[in-house]
Amino acid sequence: MSQTAETHEFQAEVSRLLEIVAHSLYSERKVFLRELISNASDACDKLRFLATQDEKLAEGGTDFAIELKADKDAGTLTIADNGIGMDRDDLISHLGTIARSGTAAFMKALDAAQRKDVGTIGQFGVGFYSAFMVADKVGVTTRKAGAAEAWHWESDGKSGYTVVPAARDARGTEIVLHLKDDAKEFLDDDTLEDIVKRYSDHIAIPIKLGERTLNRASAPWTRSKSDVTPEQHQEFYRHIAHAFDEPWVTMHWRAEGKIEYSALLYVPETRTSDLFHPDRKHGVKLYVRRVFVNEAPEGLLPRYLRFLRGVVDSEDLPLNVSREMLQNNPVLTLIRQGVTARVLSELEKKAKDAADYAKFWESFGEALKEGIFEDKDNGTRVLGLARFRSTLHPEGWVSLADYVSRMKPGQEAIHYIAGDDPKLVAKSPHLEGFVKRGVEVLLLSDPVDEFWIAQTDEFEGKKFKSVTRGGADLDKIAPEEKTDEPKAEETPSDAAALIALFRLALGEQVKDVRASQRLAESAVCLVADDSDIDIHLERMLRQHKQLGFSAKRILEINPAHKTIKALIDALTKAEGDTAVQARLGEAAKLLYDQARIVEGDKLEDPAAFAKRLSQALADGFI
Ligand code: ADP
Ligand code: MG
């Protein structure tokens, strides 16, 4: 193996970040220590976890510690751990690129704000690279658990970095910071102690300076609730979630009885970037009697609560519990049930403050809605926690309980419309008759909506009904206000002749043609028969190639609309004139295509549509 150093350049993003870091505010710089200690603690947790699967990795013991050494003569501060360590490839990928989602999010926020102001860098914390706030050279000597060779990484935080084979007796990582001239205060014992107490007290591994242990080294979830301050929660949350926001809610409790466990869970304030990652992993670590055993084990939480971050510490599971053993483990099942119930009741409490709850809902509602159909035991409860846009509150959030309390006399169902685009959905002609009668309609535009709605029969005894499907059932509900044209409400009997003509002209293209109750301003719309699949659901399934056919639709016409009235008139006056009837047949086809366009559907024959439209314009202008 060659002993000459390999030289690497930083990924472009890292270089940018380093530039920001170099200019960060003086007062924020001390957070570098929090970041490096956090990494050291993570490295110990990782090793502890992997050692449960491969004992050899724990060679040298599992008495974990993080050691700080200040050398005033050399002007260096050293942070050493006996955690997992890194090999050559790890060094290049972990310390040469930005893999960390939190840091990537910071860069994005910076881009979005287009600002040079980095005053808040301490709040974000930019991980390992924050070392360059205080150091003009950083050396990392590390040996990975189970590996024979060690490596040395070094950089000035500007031009790039070098990697060279090195010597190190034991596994773990030692980071040497060559402090800048104006950062020598970080060689001072009291300063270091202050910083550790302020930012890293929650770290469960002892952080030592010489013989002194600086932190309490007791995990926050093992302490009593009143013993953990909001600031400590915030620090712990940021450490465990690799986040830079604040917890929206903190849940800290101890369960005793059939099973015993402690839980310290946080709901983040802002949406996590992995919410719709294919893995749908949650962010709750499993500990057994204070020992970390598993990162986000499946089965600890239902998937729809995957926005949670934190720790569950069980008294009952065996320490050497394997991934396989965790599957369908009865203790884990009981914990999951307990945690789920507790989280749901906390959300119910928080939902009482509508404005505050809206923040949560906008971040995580889409995931929570999966619980409506995934959680057989709590689906109804989750449904109660769900919030929706509606025709009455297109910008706000309504609960189903609100909706039901506002239902009109004679209204039997909870009406909804589903589509991809919330703006288009709100403008759909299907809503007109409902709006006119003051009947509220839920506007659903999340992909998950089609799933829960297809599997949910009712809420508080009220069925869900799509406004694009079946009869509108509006005749039992009186219009809100008296309209200026009372006649508009009646279906002229001669509409029947036009409907018959439309049926003939459209033939197999439609399932039926009928007069509409649901239209007020528009001339026509397409609806699905009660026994057929909802229009939006069908489109979604077709897009995902789950459905190879398309159900025929019913064309509804609005006899009160001036276009339809004019056609009825023309038909009456035609008295059997076949030329007029043929033109009315063309009109039927035009209106049918128009209804499809409004639906966002493709036309079967766009050229024919264009020809008809031109002809109609020409006829109209003669
Ligand atoms: P994050 O901790 O959020 O992943 P960082 O920038 O702080 O981001 O660290 C980047 C990566 O470098 C870590 O994810 C880890 O893989 C690696 N790393 C940093 N410090 C250590 C250490 N002391 N021991 C082992 N790996 C480390
Ligand atoms: Mg880190």
519 part of a folded domain? yes
Give the CATH number for residue 28. 3.30.565.10
Output the pLDDT for position 196.
95
Of 52-61, 180-189, 260-269, 403-412, where does mean pLDDT reach its minimum?
52-61
pLDDT > 70 fraction of the chain, expressed in percent and rounded: 92
- The finding on whether 417 has its CB within 6 A of some atom of ligand 1 is no
Please say which residue of 216, 250, 279 terminates a domain.
216
Same domain for 201 and 230 = no
Side chain identity at residue 564, one-letter code: I
Same domain for 172 and 59 = yes
Question: Of 252, 272, 247, nearest to 262 (Cα)?
Answer: 252
Same domain for 237 and 209 = no
Same domain for 232 and 203 = no
Same domain for 101 and 27 = yes
Please say which residue of 174, 199, 216 terminates a domain.
216
Name 527's bridge partners: 554
Give the CATH number for residue 334. 3.30.230.80
252 part of a folded domain? yes
Kind plus residue range of the DSSP H or E element containing 515: strand 510-515
Same domain for 256 and 152 = no
Residue with CA at minimum distance from ligand 1 atom 2:
39
CB 364 within 8 A of CB 385: no
448 part of a folded domain? no
Mean pLDDT of the region 104-111: 65
- The finding on whether 83 has its CB within 6 A of some atom of ligand 1 is yes
Q: How far apart are CA 355 and CA 250, in angstroms?
A: 18
Output the pLDDT for position 159.
85
Residue 121 reports pLDDT greater than 60: no
Domains in the chain, number: 3
Q: How far apart are CA 105 and CA 122, in angstroms?
A: 14
SS3 (DSSP) at 312:
strand
As given in the structure block, the two tokens for residue 526 are 């397409």
Of 102-116, 188-202, 257-271, 275-289, where does mean pLDDT reach its minimum?
102-116
476 part of a folded domain? no
In angstroms, the Cα distances linking 508 to 99, 542, 551, 584 are 56, 21, 11, 17
Residue with CA at minimum distance from ligand 1 atom 9:
128
Same domain for 270 and 197 = no
Boundaries of domain holding 195:
2-216
Same domain for 336 and 205 = no
Mean pLDDT of the region 122-132: 78
370 part of a folded domain? no
In angstroms, the Cα distances linking 234 to 201, 229, 250, 590, 595 are 12, 9, 9, 62, 54
400 part of a folded domain? no
- The finding on whether 21 has its CB within 6 A of some atom of ligand 1 is no
> Quick one: which ligand is closest to 17's CA?
1
As given in the structure block, the two tokens for residue 5 are 């150093």
Question: Of 533, 553, 529, 547, nearest to 472 (Cα)?
Answer: 529
Alpha carbon of 281 to ligand 2 centroid (Å): 19
Helices (H), 262-409: 323-326, 330-350, 354-368, 370-374, 379-385, 400-405
pLDDT-derived band at 333, boundaries 50, 70, 90: very high
Same domain for 208 and 313 = no
Same domain for 318 and 207 = no
Give the CATH number for residue 553. 1.20.120.790
419 part of a folded domain? no
Mean pLDDT of the region 120-139: 82
Mean pLDDT of the region 173-186: 97
- The finding on whether 95 has its CB within 6 A of some atom of ligand 1 is yes
Same domain for 244 and 199 = no
469 part of a folded domain? no
Output the pLDDT for position 283.
95
pLDDT-derived band at 111, boundaries 50, 70, 90: low
Please say which residue of 168, 189, 216 terminates a domain.
216
- The finding on whether 40 has its CB within 6 A of some atom of ligand 1 is yes
Same domain for 318 and 195 = no
- The finding on whether 84 has its CB within 6 A of some atom of ligand 1 is yes
pLDDT-derived band at 622, boundaries 50, 70, 90: low
Alpha carbon of 128 to ligand 1 centroid (Å): 6
In angstroms, the Cα distances linking 609 to 411, 526, 571, 587 are 39, 17, 22, 10
Helices (H), 25-116: 31-51, 88-96, 101-113
pTM (2 d.p.): 0.82
